[in-house]
Amino acid sequence: MSEGQEHKPRRLRNIAELAKLAGVSPGTVSRALADKDLVNRETRERIQALAREHGFRPNQMASRLRTGQTGVVGVVIPLGHEQKQHISDPFFMTLLGYLADALIERGYDLMLSRALPGDSAEWLERVVDSGMLDGVLLIGQSDQFATIESVAARYRPLVVWGTHREGQRHCVVGTDSDAGGRLAAQHLIARGCRRIAFFGDTRGLEIERRLAGARAAAAESGTGTRIDDFPTHLSAEEMGSQIAADLDRMDPATDAIFAASDLIAMATLRLLHERGRRVPEDIALVGFDGLPLSEQTVPQLTTIHQDIAGGAQAMVAALLARIGGSDSPSTVLAPQLIVRETA
Amino acid sequence: MSEGQEHKPRRLRNIAELAKLAGVSPGTVSRALADKDLVNRETRERIQALAREHGFRPNQMASRLRTGQTGVVGVVIPLGHEQKQHISDPFFMTLLGYLADALIERGYDLMLSRALPGDSAEWLERVVDSGMLDGVLLIGQSDQFATIESVAARYRPLVVWGTHREGQRHCVVGTDSDAGGRLAAQHLIARGCRRIAFFGDTRGLEIERRLAGARAAAAESGTGTRIDDFPTHLSAEEMGSQIAADLDRMDPATDAIFAASDLIAMATLRLLHERGRRVPEDIALVGFDGLPLSEQTVPQLTTIHQDIAGGAQAMVAALLARIGGSDSPSTVLAPQLIVRETA
DNA sequence: ACCATGCTACCAATCGTTTGCAATCATTCA
DNA sequence: TGAATGATTGCAAACGATTGGTAGCATGGT
């Protein structure tokens, strides 16, 4: 008011300009904005008020370069064996949503990438060495187990969603797929099913384990139950026609289907309905994931539930521990059979 | 081999170290890695080979500070009137997936934030002035129209998903909600429905327009059709019980439901089924969004389809134009009625 | 009157890359 | 032979914030 202060102050470009305006040095402004008590409270508040008035905010790029802390966590979805799979896959998206919530709550930003691995380890190294990230979260191992292992050997703040293998070095959080597969098969066998079809692409580590678990349970049951597997594309476009074809060519004696994901199960449920096959009377169906959506189908889907929210929390907790320098072990979540109406 | 070259070369910290190794100046290395033809091809390739061998990648933070270009686009979901709504809402996630695909394809990274607006404009300014972003994409306007307008007045590279209002300044991409509402109501009325319930929270701009469109169509039809609206929470937990309550308290003569989203429609479909109401024989149902999931219900959902993929493309195109300095107009997408089985 | 003690605030180096300008050298033309 | 041309590379100043070390200045104790 007293001075020739413009009504609409021009935007301040940097800390130095604000310093000149306040009649102090840039260093003082930096400390004042960081609210350090090294600077007198009056001065501090005066500078903060000035900054607010001019809508000034220090350049993050510079700050982060200087401090080496970025406050950003990278989330990448490797699409190795299934390049057509869209990033908007509901399972990924659900997990991503929980991760975002957990990270943002802790003051981190989240940078999203989709990686097309190809042949070399370059895709992961590029992310990890970008110098932009405090840590990296991988959603899924795809078929890149070896690559992940090699990078994890030198880059600590890396946490992966996926399957745990004996003796692996990278920190992983995921459901016990073996146990999940067992649970599904045991339930179906207990219901009297003896000929089970497995729908899923076993090139993915987790899915391969789900089938293995189911096969083990079948063998242990001593009922002579057989499990035939049908690879299923994950891309929405191809999934439908492929499942339709599988439904038509599979052994007519098949009395149950174990779908590797709820999404596959939902599509299967629809196609069975179209063909006039009643579920579960004519054929039983079990899904995998326990997405909120699986509750909304008619009939409601029986499924193996993964604790996605808990998994996200565990991933973030492990990552922050690693960013902080401490080591964190892998977490294996117990799957849970949710019996609803389809089996 | 000839020199004392270690088998596992130690990691290079910066361009200067690589320069010393190559016997050139840092500037030359910088140019070589950027593949500029100012530097001799032999030298260039030699440096690039060296970089590859040592797994060296220039620090992005520094580079971005120097150039002022970040290569990052911010995506933020403002949660104004509905703080409980989770970031993992399927519509947001689907749009986000397409946005991610479009951005990554063009070489941009994507930074995700969830904003809890509160009372001031600060939430958006913090994102916009962070100095980390080349541009910002907003998913939804929530109840923050005024805030968005004021920020858009000075910050150009901002594109918003939502509803277009006459004379607004910010660039928006979205479906014509009015037309969508009309389409739904017209279809229901043509089927003979005269008492329609609308399920959705009209505090959101888009949803409010959907109801308005439906009401307009009802009035124009001259059939005396009434539309009652029932606010519906967007958070998954509360949605179910609320819809159940609405179903029980609404006028028994209601012969159709227009749900403001496919998610609401799916939950409604289930609850109707639980109550033994046949769809569409006893009561018709129309959704909104046209998510891939809406195809998987039994019976399949009749819905108003939004071109989410096209919208994402349009948003990214508009944003890149704005980042490049040119101006880009708003885009209004035409909704499309998809008649399936529920109405 | 003198020194120790706190407070504050300043100075200048630093993070790692990019880039305009100048310097070097070989080559070519008159 | 000398100057002009063109191709490469080096030099050093940015970009903007942070921070350890230090100077200035009261105050208080002796």
SS (H, E, C) A183-199: HHHHHHHHCCCCEEEEE
Between the CA of residue A127 and those of A76, A308, B221, what are the distances in Å? Answer: 8, 24, 57
Q: Give the lowest-confidence range in A30-34, A188-192, B85-89, B315-319.
A: B85-89
User: Using the CB atom, is residue B38 less than 7 Å from strand D?
Assistant: yes
pLDDT at A12: 87
**Could you give the dihedral angle defined by the CA atoms of residues B267, B269, B273 and B277, in that order, rounded to the nearest 10 degrees?**
130
Question: Which nt has its C1' nearest the CA of B18?
Answer: C16
C1' (D28) to CA (B15) span, angstroms: 54
Residue A6 has pLDDT above 60, yes or no: no
C1' (D11) to CA (B74) span, angstroms: 37
Q: How confident is the model at residue A171 (pLDDT cuts 50, 70, 90)?
A: very high
Q: Considering only CB atoms, which chain B residues are within 8 Å of A55?
A: 125, 129
Q: Determine the Cα–Cα distance for residues A279 and A297; give it in Å rounded to an integer.
A: 12
Entry pTM: 0.84
C1' (C3) to CA (A50) span, angstroms: 39
B296 and chain A in contact, CB less than 8 A: yes
Between the CA of residue A232 and those of A114, A211, A229, A268, what are the distances in Å? Answer: 22, 13, 9, 11
- At residue B190's C-alpha, the angle toward residues B185 and B194, to 5°, is 65
- Nearest CB to B296; choose among A125, A126, A270: A270
CA distance B53 to chain A (A): 12
Q: Determine the Cα–Cα distance for residues A213 and A211; give it in Å rounded to an integer.
A: 5
Chain B residues 65-124, Cβ below 7 A from strand D:
65-66, 68
pLDDT at B82: 55
Q: Determine the Cα–Cα distance for residues A3 and B304; give it in Å rounded to an integer.
A: 59
User: Using the CB atom, is residue B16 less than 7 Å from strand C?
Assistant: yes
Rg of the Cα atoms in chain B: 26
Question: Which nt has its C1' nearest the CA of B38?
Answer: D8
Question: Which nt has its C1' nearest the CA of A14?
Answer: D16
User: Using the CB atom, is residue B70 less than 7 Å from strand C?
Assistant: no
- Nearest CB to A109; choose among B58, B111, B269: B111
pLDDT at A101: 84
pLDDT at B4: 39
Mean pLDDT of chain A: 89
Helices (H), B55-174: 60-67, 90-105, 122-128, 145-152
Q: Determine the Cα–Cα distance for residues A271 and A263; give it in Å rounded to an integer.
A: 13
**B58 phi-psi bin (left φ>0, alpha ψ -120 to 50, beta other):** beta
Residue A90 or residue A40, greater confidence: A40
C-beta neighbour count of A323 within 10 angstroms: 17
- Nearest CB to A55; choose among B59, B111, B125: B125
Mean pLDDT for A306-326 is 94
Start-to-end C-alpha separation, chain A: 76
> Taking CB atoms and an 8 Å limit, are B112 and A111 in contact across chains?
yes
Q: Determine the Cα–Cα distance for residues B120 and B42; give it in Å rounded to an integer.
A: 57
3-state SS, residue A81 = coil
CA distance B163 to chain A (A): 23
Q: Are B316 and A316 in contact (CB under 8 A)?
A: no
Place of tokens 């600060």: B122
**Could you give the dihedral angle defined by the CA atoms of residues B172, B177, B179 and B185, in that order, rounded to the nearest 10 degrees?**
180
The dihedrals phi and psi of A110, each to the nearest 5 degrees, come to: -130, 125
Q: Are A180 and A148 in contact (CB under 8 A)?
A: no
A65 and chain B in contact, CB less than 8 A: yes
Tell me the sheet residues that pair with B198: B229, B258
Q: DSSP label at A306?
A: P
B309 and chain A in contact, CB less than 8 A: no
C1' (D7) to CA (B28) span, angstroms: 14
pLDDT in tens, A141-159: 888 888 999 999 989 999 9
Q: DSSP label at B181?
A: H
Tell me whether strands B72-78 and B135-139 are parallel, antiparallel or unpaired: parallel
Mean pLDDT for A237-251 is 89
Q: Which residue in chain B has the smallest CA separation from A111?
A: B111
B85 and chain A in contact, CB less than 8 A: no
- At residue A48's C-alpha, the angle toward residues A47 and A52, to 5°, is 115
pLDDT at A1: 40
3-state secondary structure A55-72: CCCCCHHHHHHHHCCCCE
Mean pLDDT for A283-309 is 92
Residue B23 or residue A93, greater confidence: B23
Tell me whether strands B336-338 and B302-305 are parallel, antiparallel or unpaired: antiparallel
Q: Which residue is nearest to nucleotide D14 (CA to C1')?
A: B66
A70 and chain B in contact, CB less than 8 A: yes
Q: Determine the Cα–Cα distance for residues B161 and B99; give it in Å rounded to an integer.
A: 11
Q: Are A264 and A243 in contact (CB under 8 A)?
A: yes
The dihedrals phi and psi of A174, each to the nearest 5 degrees, come to: 180, 170
Q: Are A146 and A178 in contact (CB under 8 A)?
A: no
pLDDT in tens, B308-321: 999 999 999 999 99
**Could you give the dihedral angle defined by the CA atoms of residues B320, B321, B325 and B326, in that order, rounded to the nearest 10 degrees?**
-170
B96 and chain A in contact, CB less than 8 A: yes
CA distance B332 to chain A (A): 23
Question: Which nt has its C1' nearest the CA of A47?
Answer: C9
pLDDT in tens, B88-144: 577 888 898 889 888 988 888 899 876 777 767 778 888 888 778 999 999 988 888
3-state SS, residue B274 = helix
The two structure tokens encoding residue B221? 């039809």
Q: Determine the Cα–Cα distance for residues A340 and A256; give it in Å rounded to an integer.
A: 15
3-state SS, residue B214 = helix
B100 and chain A in contact, CB less than 8 A: yes
User: Using the CB atom, is residue B27 less than 7 Å from strand C?
Assistant: yes
Give me the residue spans of the domains in chain B.
Answer: 15-58, 72-174+308-332, 177-305
User: Using the CB atom, is residue B231 less than 7 Å from strand C?
Assistant: no
User: Using the CB atom, is residue A63 less than 7 Å from strand D?
Assistant: yes
3-state SS, residue A320 = helix
Q: Which residue is nearest to nucleotide C10 (CA to C1')?
A: A25
Q: Could you confirm whether domain B72-174+308-332 is CATH 3.40.50.2300?
A: yes
> Taking CB atoms and an 8 Å limit, are A57 and B112 in contact across chains?
no
Q: Which residue in chain B has the smallest CA separation from A101?
A: B87
The two structure tokens encoding residue B9? 């070369």
Question: Which residue in A255, A286, A245, A252 sits closest to A269, CA to CA?
Answer: A286
Q: Determine the Cα–Cα distance for residues B96 and A288; give it in Å rounded to an integer.
A: 24
pLDDT at B10: 67
> Taking CB atoms and an 8 Å limit, are B93 and A93 in contact across chains?
yes
User: Using the CB atom, is residue A59 less than 7 Å from strand D?
Assistant: yes
> Taking CB atoms and an 8 Å limit, are B57 and A110 in contact across chains?
no
Q: Are B84 and B238 in contact (CB under 8 A)?
A: yes
Which of B132, B136, B237 would best serve as a mutation to test chain A binding (most A beta carbons within 10 A)? B132
Q: Determine the Cα–Cα distance for residues B108 and B73; give it in Å rounded to an integer.
A: 7
Q: Determine the Cα–Cα distance for residues B255 and B264; give it in Å rounded to an integer.
A: 17
Below-50 pLDDT ranges, chain B: 1-7
Question: Which residue in B115, B121, B110, B212 sits closest to B163, CA to CA?
Answer: B212
Residue A282 has pLDDT above 50, yes or no: yes
pLDDT in tens, A255-274: 999 999 999 999 999 999 98
Same CATH fold, A177-305 and A72-175+309-333? yes
Residues 247-266 of A with CB under 8 A from B: 266
CATH superfamily of A72-175+309-333: Response regulator (3.40.50.2300)
Go through B105-120 and write b for each residue having 16 or more CB atoms within 10 A of its CB, e for each that does not.
Answer: eeebbbbbbbbebeee
> Taking CB atoms and an 8 Å limit, are B269 and A296 in contact across chains?
yes
Helices (H), chain B: 15-22, 26-33, 41-54, 60-67, 90-105, 122-128, 145-152, 177-190, 205-221, 236-249, 262-274, 308-323
DSSP structure string for B141-177 = -TT-HHHHHHHHTT--SEEEES---TT--SEEEEE-H
pLDDT at A9: 56
C1' (C1) to CA (A280) span, angstroms: 101
CATH classification code of B177-305: 3.40.50.2300
DSSP structure string for A183-239 = HHHHHHHHTT--EEEEES-TTSHHHHHHHHHHHHHHHHHTS--EEEEE----SHHHH
